[in-house]
Chains A and B, each alone.
Chain A
């Protein structure tokens, strides 16, 4: 792909894009802390997150461990209720967590988990797993129809010939094959949205790309909206159209993947990008030493949650939480440096 040059088109805000499939508005999740000493306290795992998944687009959600990525995905999958905020499917708020409308929601929004070893029940064959996924969502399939669909699903995830895999147990498959089965199970429901929580990080390096390329192909073929959770920012660049960066439960930056990774705006994104191993820029990282520990989410830092680690922190950062501000190239960053009238400090620009 060509490198962006100069002021790029404002891709993020142009309304002529593909339709929005799934949307989170001010989504918040606080987990109550158990035990005597935890009384009244909460882990503020996700704080007012906005997120938009469009048809035929991959959005990557990146951030350090514990930043709330999986929690966002689980909230979107309705695996647990939000503390506050809204989830909208094709613009319709999802309110109930039972009944026919809820089942329809679950069919349309499918999730793939990180661990292909744990996510498949060891006592069930591939046939059983896929049949169940087909039947739950399409009742009254005839035997022949079912067989055709089963073969079709395996075909779709490149497990062919289907007969070789259909009667296998999970332990008879490799990690990559298992993850393909998990993807096939999700596809069996004919979803429109796929939430993939670190779908390749447990897989061997040499087969990761195969699974990512498969997801990419399925996205194009089926026009899926995909949320791709990862902490590998290079793979976000490779696979995702847009990238959303989380820090300590909040979204700190979002924009198209190329500008977020090549010209990160938020100081945390800059830290993340410069920390990633990169054989072509050996000396770079040493110039920007990485420091500090992730913050507590029970008592998160006041103001900007990143301020204790931020090399550019100003007085205001310690007290006021920064809103999302435009940061060039169609990106938004939650950082006071991008407020009007603030002079950009030296060293903020990290053009690739």
Chain B
């Protein structure tokens, strides 16, 4: 196995304030979101808890429609109607000062001041959200002017050039219009904008999905480099688990509005515990190693307005047994030695007298390479 290139032990913020890696910077607790009110409401998030550590890159993966974007919107209080937050808290702990913000209790003004400054988000399809009639430099400067009105336009302009350079775009492109830039460059402009005010948390929703692999690699490498230099934390949303395994320190897998497994990237890849995680990993043909038949996951994701009783995955699960269609498994620690803080929501790991299939077993049976 290759060594991981992106680990950091400490994160030093650009202001010099030293924060201990591992302290929480963002805590999402029991977050639930519906779209709509009545019986036909879509239960897009159910009881989602997730903690982002200082300096951490947390990957969030799952199939289309499982609620990844909803989580990003709800956690930043940007959820558009008919989305309703029906429960939960989101707490931001500043690692640069002693502020502790309860996002759902903040006033709109407080929220506006905190957005971009503490937490920034790069939306899905963001490269198309640049305004086509303004030069990219102006759009960068406008964001900074709104939050740092005390600085001069010249200062902002210099900073905008610096930001472009930081994401690998020549500063002389500052006067370009969006259509004069390639998709990959526009995406990097959006990343530059998110980083403009040096936020502590950056949420990126599918920032590279529309790009080809060469551009994707370029952006991901820049992101890791910037994270190491600036010390922010990242929630990186994608459906591409193979990308996350390379990029993320920790990965949370979502299915039908719930987190069903949360583990370090390496554990998740080499020792998946949840049958869905296992299926997802086996949905990507390997680029190297032996070629073999793959099956993907039979069936299709459930309808969120009419979720099956019990474990939402049980109709597709090859290992479903007694309790699975009756009770909903909770996300909890596997309670085994050497498993760290990893969590899984599956009855196979819940103390039932059941033979856990070998590939999901806790016993330290090393998985064969790429199988």
Contacts and interface: CB of A to CB of B under 8 A. Distances in A.
Interface of A: 1, 3, 64-65, 174-177, 204-210, 213, 231, 233-235, 237-239, 258, 261-262, 271-273, 275-286, 289-291, 293-294, 352
A262 B241 CA distance: 21
Given A275-B217, A352-B288, A176 B300 contact: yes
Interface string B282-309: 0111111111011111101100000000
Report the 8 A-B pairs with minimum CB-CB distance, sorted nearest first.
A209-B296, A283-B2, A238-B285, A282-B2, A206-B297, A279-B245, A275-B217, A277-B242
Interface in B32-75: 63-64
B221 interface: yes
B370 interface: yes
A294 B289 contact: no
B301 A290 contact: no
B297 A272 contact: no
Contacts of A64: 212-215
Nearest to B224: A286
Interface residues of B, number: 49
A290 B217 contact: yes
Contacts of A275: 213-214, 216-217
Contacts of B246: 277-279, 282, 285
30 contacts: A1-B291, A174-B300, A175-B64, A204-B239, A204-B300, A205-B240, A205-B241, A205-B280, A205-B283, A205-B284, A207-B297, A207-B300, A209-B285, A209-B296, A213-B294, A234-B287, A235-B285, A275-B217, A276-B287, A277-B245, A278-B288, A279-B246, A279-B269, A280-B289, A282-B2, A283-B4, A283-B5, A290-B217, A293-B182, A293-B184
Contacts of B301: 204, 206
Contacts of B294: 209, 213, 238
Nearest to B5: A286
A207 B296 contact: yes
B337 to A, nearest CB: 25
A36 B114 CA distance: 47
Interface of B: 1-5, 63-64, 182-185, 211-218, 221, 239-243, 245-246, 269, 279-280, 283-291, 293-298, 300-301, 369-370
A206 B63 contact: yes
Nearest to A274: B217
A208 B64 CA distance: 12
A208 B2 contact: no
Contacts of B287: 233-234, 237, 261, 273, 276, 278
Contacts of A239: 285
A83 B243 CA distance: 39
A148 B2 CA distance: 55
Contacts of A234: 284-287
A231 B212 contact: yes
B237 to A, nearest CB: 14
A204 B185 CA distance: 26
Given A206-B280, A275-B217, A276-B213, A281 B2 contact: yes
Contacts of B217: 275, 285, 290
Nearest to A176: B300
B90 to A, nearest CB: 28
- Which of B64, B214, B283 has the most C-beta atoms of chain A within 10 angstroms of its own C-beta? B214
Nearest to B289: A280
Contact of A233 (B63, B213, B298): B213
Given A205-B283, A282-B246, A65 B218 contact: no
Contacts of B185: 293
A49 B104 CA distance: 58
Given A65-B183, A209-B294, 6 more contacts: A1-B290, A177-B300, A278-B246, A278-B287, A279-B245, A290-B218
A175 B301 CA distance: 11
Nearest to A235: B285
A282 B4 contact: yes
Nearest to B61: A205
A277 B240 contact: yes
Contacts of A210: 296, 298
A3 B286 CA distance: 14
A280 B288 contact: yes
A280 to B, nearest CB: 6
A6 B93 CA distance: 58
Contacts of A177: 300
A204 B64 contact: yes
B170 to A, nearest CB: 10
A238 B289 CA distance: 11
Nearest to B208: A277
Contacts of B296: 206-210, 213
Contacts of B279: 206
- Which of A177, A207, A277 has the most C-beta atoms of chain B within 10 angstroms of its own C-beta? A277
A289 B221 contact: yes
